[in-house]
Structure 1
Amino acid sequence: MPPTKEDTGATANADPTPSLWRNRDFNLLWASQSLSDLGTAMSNLALPLLVLHLTGSPEQAGLVGTAGLLVTMVCRLPAGVLADRLDRRRVMIACDLLRLAAYGALFGAVLADAAGIALVLAVVVLGAAANALFSTAEHAAVRSLVPAGQLSTAVARNEARAYGTSLAGPSLGGVLFAAGRSLPFLGNAVSHLLSLIAVLCIRRPLQERRTAPAETGRAAGTEGVRFVLGNPFLRALLLIAAPLNMAFTGMIFAIIVALQREGTSPALVGTASTIFGLGGFLGAFAAPALQRKLPLPKLILVLCWVTTALMAAGALFATSVLAAVPLACAVFLGPTANAALFGYQAAITPDRLQGRVISVILLVATSAAALAPGLAGVLLAHLSSAATMLTFSLIVAVAAVAATFSSGIRTMPTDV
C-alpha cells in the first residue's frame, strides 16, 4: 500500500531526507536526459527547416514530423516492456550510441550537401525509436533513485529540465541552422555523447532486483494496460490528454511553418519556440506552490479551459512571433499538472511495472499528437494560418468539455 501524506510527513520529521540537489545518481540521470532533450530540441527545430530547404513543401515537412511521432507511438509499449525486463542503464547507453551515430551521419551528409529526404526520414525514425526507449527507461528509473516523499519534486525538476531545454534548444538550433545547416545535427550528436558519459557514471541500480520470472509474450505488454485501465482517474485523464497534446503539438508546428512562409529568419523562428519553452520553464518553478493551492482535478479543468481561450487568442497574431505568447501562457500550467500526475503514478505503481505503465500513459496521451504536424501541414496548405490555429483551439475545447463532465477526474483520491 502506498504511503499517505501523513506517513511520509512523519517519516520526514523522524529522519529528514537530503535534498535532491545532493542526490548524486538522480542528478546524473537528470543531466543525461537534459543533454538528450537539448539535442532533440535543436534537431526538432532544424529538421522541418531542412526539409523546407530541400523540398519547399510544408506538407513534406509536416509528414517528416509526423513520421517521427508515429514511430515514437509505435515504440511506446515495446519500450515499456524492455525498460522493465532489461537493465535500464544498458538500455539508455545503447540508445545514446544509436542517436550519436544517426545524427553524426546526418551532420556529415548535410555538410557535404548530400542529404536527401530518404536520409532525413531514416534519421528521424531511428532517433524517435531511441528517444522513446531512453525516455521510458529514464522515467521508470526515477523511483529507484528518489525516496517516495520526493517523487513529485523530482518530476517537477524533470519538467523544469524539459522546458529549460525547450527554451534553449530551439533558439540554439535556429542560430546554428542560420550559421550552417549541418551544425544543429552536430550539436545533437555531441549532446548524446555527453549524455552517454553521464549514464555511465551512475552507480546505483536503476531498478529493483527481480525475484519473479519475467512475463513473456502478450502478457508482458498488456499488464501495464490493465493497471492503467483499472484506475478510474488515469483512465479518464488519458481520454482528455490525447486531444490536448495534439493541439499543443499542432499549434507549435503551425506557428513555426507560418513564420517560415512569411520569410521570418531561422533565428527568429527559434525565438518563437523559445517563448513556448519560457512559459513551461517558469511554470515548472511555480509547480510546488501551485500544487499546494490547486488539487490535480481542479488544475486539469483550469488548464483545459484556459488553453482553449489562449489558443484562440494566438490566432489573432497568426503570422507574428507574438502568436507564441498566448501559447506560452497556456503551457505555464502544464508542469504542475505533469508533476502531480507522474508523482501520483510513480507512488501507486510497483517498480516491475513502472516502464509499462509509463509507456501506456505516454502512448495514449501523445497518440493523437503524432498526427498533429501532418494535420497542421494539410490545414496550412488549404486554410489561412489563423483558421489553422483556431482548429486546434476547438480540439482543446473538446477536451475541456470531457474533463468537466468526467466522474473519474472529480473522484480522484487525494490522499496518495
Structure 2
Amino acid sequence: MPSTTEDADATAEAARTPGLWRNRDFNLLWGSQSLSDVGTAMANLALPLLVLHLTGSPTQAGAVGTVGLLVGMACRLPAGVLADRLDRRKVMITCDLLRLAAYGALGAAVVAGAAGIAMVVVVVICGAAANALFSTAEHAAVRSLVETDQLPTAVARNEARAYGTSLAGPPLGGLLFALGRSLPFFGNAVSHLLSLVTVLCIRRPLQRPRTAPAGSGRAAGAEGLRFVLGNPFLRALLLIAAPLNMAFTGMIFAIIVSLQRAGTSSFVVGCASMIFGLGGFLGAFAAPAMQRRLPLPKLILVLCWATTALMALSALFPTSVLAAVPLACAVFLGPTANAALFGYQAAITPDHLQGRVISVILLVATSAAALAPGLAGLLLAHLTSATTMLAFSLIVAVSAVAATFSTGIKSMPSQT
C-alpha cells in the first residue's frame, strides 16, 4: 500500500538523521563555546576590577564597560556582512586568534606590572569586536550543522549555554582575580585557544557555496535589512523584541538598585541576580517540551502578556528580594521564545543572508536594551521603585498589544 511505503520511507529518513546529541560537529561547537563563554564572562567581571585597582575610579571602570558595549553595537552590522561574505570558519579562527593574543598579552602585562588603562581599553575594543563577529558567524553557521527541524532545539541548547555560563563565569572570575589578578585573563586566553582548536576539528562546511558575487559592503548590508523589513514575521519581531528586551534589562537594573537603596546586603543582591539567571537556565532546558505544546504565534502572545503581569507583580515587592521571583518566572519563558523565533528565522532565511539578518535583529534588540539602565536610573531618580517597575511592565504591554494585533504574527503558520 502507498501509505505503508511512505511511512517506511519516513521512518528510514528519521533513522538516518542523527539526534542533536549525536551530532559531532554541533556538539564540538557547542562545547567549545561553552568554555569560551565562561572565559569571556570571567574577563568581563575582572576587567572593571582591574581598572578599579589601577585607577581607583569607579567612573573609569564604568566607562571601560561602556566602550565595550558601544564597540559591540557598532560592529554588529559589519559583522553580519563579513559572516556572509567570508569563509565563516576562517572568520571564527581569526577572532579566536585575536582574543587569544589580546587577553594573553593583558595577563602577561598584569604579571609584569606593566598594565595600564590604555592597554585595557585596547583589549576591550579588540575583544568586543571579535565577540560580535564570532557570535554572528556562529549563529549563521548553526543552520549548516543541524537539520531544519532541529534548529529550535539547537537554539535552545545555545540559550542554556548562555545562561549557564552567565551563572558560572562571574563567580569563577572573581575567585581567580582574588587568587591572582592575571588569572582571569590567562583563563580567557586558554578558552579561546580551545575554541580555535575545536573549530578546526569541525568537519562540515559552515556555509553553503556562494554562487553570486558579493556586492559592496553597504549594498550587502542593505540587502539583509531589506530581507528583514520585507518579511512580515521578522518585521513584527523587531517591533515586539525591542521593547521587550529593554523592559527585561531595565527591570533587572531597577530591582538591583532598589535593593541596594533599601540597604540590602550585597550577598542578597547577588542572590537576586542569581535568581534571574536560574530562571533562564531552567527555561532553556524546558524549551523543547514547551515548543511542542505551544505553536509559535501563541507562544509570543503568552510570553508578552505573562511578562506584563509578572513584572506588575514584582512591583508589589519593590525593596524585597521577592521581586526577583516573578521576574525569574518571566525570564523562564524567554529561552523558549528565543529558540522558536530564531529557529524559525534560520529556517526561512537563505544561507547567504543568515549573518546579515541575525545582525539586524540582534542590533535592534541590544540597542534598545542598552538604553534600559539609563532609563531605569532616570525613572528611579524621580519616581518610586514600585512606579518605575510598573513603567517597565507597561513597556512590555506595548509589545503584547503589538503581538496581539500584528498581521505578521497572525499570518504565521500555526506549526513551525
- Report the TM range for the smaller structure's normalisation: 0.7 to 0.9
1:214 paired with 2:214, answer: yes
C-alpha displacement of 1:241: 0.6
Give the CA deviation at 1:51. 5.6
Tell me by how many angstroms 1:363 deviates: 1.4
**1:104 aligned residue:** 104
1:154 aligns with 154
Cα distance in structure 1, aligned partners of 2:190 and 2:233: 40
> How has the CA–CA distance of structure 1 residues 389 and 38 changed in structure 2, closer, same or farther, with 3 Å as cutoff?
farther
Q: Distance in 2 between matches of 1:268 and 1:186?
A: 30
Give the Å deviation of 1:394: 3.5
1:4 maps to none
Q: Which amino acid aligns with 1:29?
A: L
Instruction: Report the Cα offset of residue 44 of structure 1.
Output: 3.7
Change (3 A) 1:296 1:23: same
In structure 2, relative to structure 1, the CA distance for the partners of 1:170 and 1:271 (3 Å cut) is farther
Moved more, 375-384 or 190-199: 375-384
2:209 partner letter = R
| Partner Cα separation in structure 2 for residue 278 and residue 186 of structure 1 | 27
Residue 3 of structure 2: aligned partner: none
1:13 to 11, 14, 17: 11
Counterparts in 2 of 1:34-45, with a 5 A limit? 34-45=34-45
Provide the rounded CA distance (Å) in 2 between the counterparts of 1:320 and 1:208. Answer: 52
Q: Which residue of 1 aligns with 2:325?
A: 325
Kept after mapping to 2: 8 A contact 1:152/1:344: yes
Identity rate of aligned residues, in percent?
82
Q: Distance in 1 between matches of 2:241 and 2:356?
A: 18
Tell me how far 1:25 sits from its aligned partner: 0.9
What is the one-letter code of the residue matched to 2:130? A
Q: Confirm or deny that 1:189 pairs with 2:174.
A: no
Letter in 1 for 2:135: S
Q: CA deviation at 1:49?
A: 5.4
Distance 2:10 2:291 in 1: 19
Q: CA deviation at 1:403?
A: 2.2
User: CA offset at residue 220 of structure 1?
Assistant: 1.0
The one-letter amino acid of 1:354's match is Q
Structure of greater Rg: 2
Compute the displacement of 1:154 (Å).
Answer: 1.4
Q: 1:314 to 1:168 in 2, by over 3 A?
A: farther
Q: 1:296-375 maps to which residues of 2 (within 5 A)?
A: 296-315=296-315, 318=318, 321-375=321-375
Are residues 99 and 165 of structure 1, via their aligned partners in 2, closer, same or farther at CA, if it must alter by over 3 Å?
Answer: same
Structure 1: where are the runs of 5+ without partners? 1-7
Secondary structure at the aligned position of 1:204 is classed as coil
Deviations 1:156-214 (A, max 9, x none): 22122222212222333344455555543343333222222211211221111112222
Equivalent pair of 1:166/1:274 in contact (CA under 8 Å): no
Q: C-alpha displacement at 1:148, in angstroms?
A: 1.7
Distance 2:7 2:127 in 1: 42
User: How far apart are 1:96 and its partner, in Å?
Assistant: 1.4
Does 280-289 or 103-112 show the bigger shift? 103-112
Structure with the bigger RCO (C-alpha within 8 Å, sep 6+) is: 1
* CA distance 1:370–1:30, change in 2 (3 Å): same
Equivalent positions of 1:72-91 (< 5 A) are 72-91=72-91
Contact persistence 1:80–1:133 (CA under 8 A) = yes
CA contact (8 A) 1:65 1:374 kept: no
1:67 paired with 2:67, answer yes
Shift of 1:324: 3.4
Q: Which residue of 2 aligns with 1:399?
A: 399
Counterpart CA distance in 2 for 1:56 and 1:257 is: 20
Q: Which amino acid aligns with 2:216?
A: T
Q: What is the alpha-carbon distance in structure 2 between the residues aligned to residue 50 and residue 381 of structure 1? A: 29
Question: 1-side partners of 2:219 and 2:7: how far apart?
Answer: 37
Alignment TM-score, normalising by the size of structure 1? 0.85
C-alpha contact 1:33 1:135 (8 A) present in aligned 2: no
For residues 25-64 of structure 1, the C-alpha deviation after alignment (integer angstroms, 9 at most, x for no partner) is: 111111222222222233344445556675564x665554
Q: Give, in whole Å, the separation in 1 of the partners of 2:373 and 2:108.
A: 27
1:337 Cα offset (Å): 0.7
Instruction: Provide Cα deviations, 1:54-106, integer angstroms capped at 9, x if missing partner.
Output: 5564x665554443232222211111111111111111111112222333344
Decide whether the 8 Å contact of 2:232 with 2:408 is kept in 1: yes
* C-alpha contact (below 8 Å) 2:250/2:376 kept by paired residues: yes
For each residue in 1:263-317, what CA deviation from the matched residue of structure 2 results, as whole angstroms up to 9, or x when unmatched?
Answer: 845x765544332221112111111221122122222222122223333444555
The normalised TM-score by structure 2 is: 0.85
Query: Where do 5+ consecutive residues of structure 2 fail to align?
Result: 1-5
The corresponding residue for 1:26 is 26
Call closer, same or farther: CA 1:320–1:71 in 2, change over 3 Å.
Answer: farther
Shift of 1:333: 0.7
Tell me if structure 2 keeps the 8 A contact 1:259–1:321.
yes
Greater Cα shift, 358-367 or 115-124: 115-124
Aligned to 1:3: none
Q: How does 1:89-238 map to 2 (within 5 A)?
A: 89-108=89-108, 118-177=118-177, 179=179, 182-238=182-238
Change (3 A) 1:111 1:370: farther
Q: Is the 8 A contact 1:208 1:352 kept in 2?
A: yes
Provide closer, same or farther for how the CA distance between residues 263 and 289 of structure 1 changes in structure 2, counting only shifts above 3 A.
closer
Q: Residues 295 and 415 of structure 2 are in contact (CA less than 8 Å); yes or no, is this contact kept in structure 1?
A: no
Residues 1:411 and 1:74: Cα distance change in structure 2 (over 3 Å): same
Whether the 8 Å contact between 2:297 and 2:414 is mirrored in structure 1 is no
Secondary structure of 1:40's match? helix
Does the aligned pair in 2 maintain the 1:63–1:374 contact within 8 Å?
Answer: no
How many residue pairs are counted as aligned between the two chains?
Answer: 407
